[in-house]
Amino acid sequence: MERYDEIMKAVCRTDDDRVIFGKLVGEYVHLEQRMDELLRLPQIKVHPDDPSLQKATPAHKQYKELLQQYTNIAKILGRLTGTDDEDDDSPLRAWAKSRLGANAY
């Protein structure tokens, strides 16, 4: 619930906002958790006799689908913060940048 509260604080300015966007933020947090779980699973199967033959695993396919949903919600939540200028970082953008830096390979 800590992550949920963090995003709600960044997005919602009124109690009405909390009611309207609470479910969306909950879905966003759920997608984050599910995507983290999927990343721990193998993403590619390599043929044992021919390493040039590779195939995406079901976990990879599901991650790809969830990533699209996650990205769409992130765009909506980014607009809700009221800062559309890329120069001006909202709390949500600052968090996203810090997370991106922590997960860089």
Per-residue pLDDT, 18: 85
8 A C-beta contact, residue 66 and residue 73: no
pTM for the structure as a whole? 0.69
Distance, in Å, from the CA atom of 93 to the CA atom of 105, rounded to the nearest integer, reads 20
List the pLDDT tens digit at each of the 105 positions of the chain. 799 999 898 888 888 888 888 999 999 999 999 999 999 999 999 999 999 999 999 999 999 999 999 999 999 888 877 655 555 667 777 777 777 766 554
Report CA torsion sign: 9, 12, 16, 20.
negative
CA 35, 40, 46, 48: dihedral to nearest 10 degrees? -150
